[in-house]
A and B are shown apart, each in its own frame.
Chain A
């Protein structure tokens, strides 16, 4: 709480605009050894990833089975890092004040989207074209009608738009802060801030513009996110398994992303608070409210999964049985169970426990479990799917009603896969870390705005917090 920290001696008064600016700019400009150590560590991991990728390339792109883990990692970043900005968008659209300290950190993840876009490129070669007789959203009966690579094209375009929307949003929300940096700092920071802040002078017209653009870009980002998940989950996942017809799956894929995004944010906040020194801004409120959201989304995970499962289980058609066999009860049962426990059971049974939910360390802990669960979830989905033979053989994938003839056994990661896994994770964290040096990871202007709307005042015998809501 701003007022509490103000009470502490030897600290800048954080309930005055100047105090906020000084404090945040200071945190943004000074860089500790711990930071550089982290950068080095993740840099090494990333280097490993590159090695792994080169090893992968040596196997060629003809057999998509070996690329299963690579695809899973792409999907993993898509569902965690690229969904994290939703925390900022949703809370901003609902005008929730508690978002103010965390929205910037969420938006910073959009930069990782750029990294993921690069990750996506090799998959374009790995995945079969429509010629091979796989079904696709863009393929109703006749191949000649449409370009055979249309799934690749549309998915790439959507992904590009998603990333652009994200970066635009980040930039627009940064404008006032860039201006602040331009005016209150020196060196390279001031120079590039000057270049990016353009003519931001904080006229009411500019503020209005910024407010609206943020809303629109946010909504657009959300739509693109859903759309990307839709395309990826159908054309780059479901379509590779003969007879896998699950109308809910794209929504599930997106819902999982929201859940993992919230979890990612919780972890980010935890580290920002512990090691970034943002204790005065990221407080119990953020942890608690975000934790509640994570809880709700974890329940959603189960509901979406069960809605699909019960239908396939009850339908008992051969193709449905085969899909269940492949993704859940078959060779990937352990992976699925891990995902199920970490994504649903752990959050369910921990979050109903009040002391843990209303603590600073509880929600991040649960977030960790959710992220690991999501990791396993992606693996069981993508690795399993990419090892399915039969694509390209119209006899197998003729009708959609036909099932896979045999379930291949689980595909364990080899050295290259492990390198890729650590590399992708390390790489995305590295990108985020570097981004925090370029852009303040707590939004200065939103903090200052909060000071206007949030008032602590006495109410008869007690003190209450008054929150203003601008319409």
Chain B
């Protein structure tokens, strides 16, 4: 079995907070429509979300954006607490969620420091017009279970099959578009890069290595939890940083 270790790199320097990734994710993964009502209930489902933080004092206030999706932690706190193995760690370094096993204790959601696990409080519903755009490769989750970013595992699998059929390495550049999760493909500024961290010439590895080695921008979110995530963030290069600090 090919021992990939899927990972993602998020270059915060490039993120404009345009939310394209969020929309792409919604349509790719059959995520129910988050209408105003759901937001008021604080129950929207966004496998990837853009968190916006204000930084600095007026006049030089800055909006900081950080896209947060499932970090697919190596030592995921969410996994061991599930009584029914609905979430576990697979051989590709993915933190997989088996909807069919899930009974909805929401324990994993509590234990995830990144808060990227979402509970289906209601039976998901789509307006008639959108019924036909549901992605056939992705299960429609029923109510009462947890769900979260899968790194678009359906795309990974399909690419793997294609690669087997036509030959070639699924992690190589030729398959990049079909391998990439929806959010990565949708990102206009190439903030997000996806790939196999075990393959040194995959785009993700390159970005990570270059930045961590040369510029030392690479870090992972909430390191003090020791979850050892598969998502690497690259610090924002901020020429105004000094002013912000002293401003």
Contact = CB atoms under 8 A, between A and B. Distances in A.
A–B touch (CB < 8 A): the answer is yes
B224 A401 contact: yes
A316 B75 contact: yes
B80 A314 contact: yes
Contact of B224 (A314, A321, A402): A402
B225 interface: yes
B83 interface: no
B226 A316 contact: yes
Interface of B is mostly: loop
Nearest to A314: B80
Interface in B73-102: 75, 77, 80
Nearest to A402: B224
A319 B223 CA distance: 11
A316 B226 CA distance: 7
A212 interface: no
B224 A318 contact: yes
A399 B224 contact: yes
Interface residues of B, number: 6
B226 A321 contact: yes
Contacts of B75: 316
Contacts of A401: 224
Interface in B205-226: 224-226
A409 interface: no
A95 interface: no
Interface string B142-179: 00000000000000000000000000000000000000
A317 B225 contact: yes
Tell me the dominant secondary structure on chain A's binding face.
loop
A402 B225 CA distance: 10
Q: Which of A317, A319, A399, A402 has the most CB of B within 10 A?
A: A317
A324 B19 CA distance: 43
A318 B80 contact: no
Interface string A396-425: 000101100000000000000000000000
A399 B224 CA distance: 10
Nearest to B80: A314
Contacts of B226: 316-318, 321
A401 B80 CA distance: 22
Contacts of B77: 316
A401 to B, nearest CB: 4
A316 B225 CA distance: 8
A322 to B, nearest CB: 10
Interface in A311-348: 314, 316-319, 321
Kindly name the residue among B80, B224, B225 whose own CB sees the greatest number of chain A CB atoms within 10 A.
B224
Nearest to B225: A317
B79 to A, nearest CB: 11
A318 B226 CA distance: 6
B188 to A, nearest CB: 36
Contacts of B225: 317
A402 B224 CA distance: 7
A321 B225 CA distance: 11
B24 to A, nearest CB: 33
A8 to B, nearest CB: 66
Nearest to B75: A316
Interface in A288-323: 314, 316-319, 321
Contacts of A318: 224, 226
Interface string B54-89: 000000000000000000000101001000000000
Nearest to A318: B226
B39 to A, nearest CB: 33
B80 A317 contact: no
Contacts of A317: 224-226
B225 to A, nearest CB: 6
A323 to B, nearest CB: 13
A83 B120 CA distance: 55
Given A316-B75, A319-B224, 12 more contacts: A314-B80, A316-B77, A316-B226, A317-B224, A317-B225, A317-B226, A318-B224, A318-B226, A321-B226, A399-B224, A401-B224, A402-B224
What are the nearest 5 A-B pairs in CB distance?
A401-B224, A318-B226, A317-B226, A316-B75, A316-B226
14 contacts: A314-B80, A316-B75, A316-B77, A316-B226, A317-B224, A317-B225, A317-B226, A318-B224, A318-B226, A319-B224, A321-B226, A399-B224, A401-B224, A402-B224
